[in-house]
């Protein structure tokens, strides 16, 4: 079954604020934060299931850019500073 690209470059996305038990590759500090899709990489096996030897249902992967001040409220650097993180589609939602 083909994997659909739900988001496009420039779209705002919010990272799910979820804390499931298991092997999850989405950093805790980024959960619940809003960023902007900067590019899509295509569909890949989901490492969260592959790590347990289970079938890795393919998910679309995006590069998402976050303002540093959005991640770290006490951030004292330039307001233009960003952090880019590669995230699986299942962790993203519309804000």
Give the count of beta carbons closer than 10 Å to the beta carbon of residue 28: 9
CATH of 12-93, one of 2.30.30.50, 1.10.10.10, 3.30.200.20, 2.60.40.420: 2.30.30.50
Cα separation of 22 and 13, whole Å? Answer: 24
Cα separation of 13 and 93, whole Å? Answer: 6
For the chain, the average pLDDT equals: 91
pLDDT of residue 12: 98
pLDDT of residue 1: 65
For the chain, the structural domain boundaries read: 12-93
Which pTM value belongs to this model?
Answer: 0.89
Cα separation of 94 and 81, whole Å? Answer: 23
Mean pLDDT value of segment 22-39: 91
pLDDT in tens, 48-84: 777 778 777 899 999 999 999 999 989 999 999 999 9
Q: Determine contact, residues 27/57, Cβ cutoff 8 Å.
A: no
């Amino acid at each position: 079954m083909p994997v659909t690209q739900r988001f496009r470059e420039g779209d705002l996305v919010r990272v799910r604020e979820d804390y499931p038990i298991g092997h999850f590759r989405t950093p805790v500090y980024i959960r619940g934060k809003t960023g902007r899709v900067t590019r899509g990489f295509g569909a890949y096996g989901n490492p969260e299931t592959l790590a347990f030897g289970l079938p890795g249902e393919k998910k679309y992967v995006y590069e998402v850019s976050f303002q540093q001040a959005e991640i770290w409220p006490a951030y004292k650097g330039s307001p233009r500073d960003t952090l880019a993180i590669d995230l699986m589609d299942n962790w993203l939602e519309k804000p």
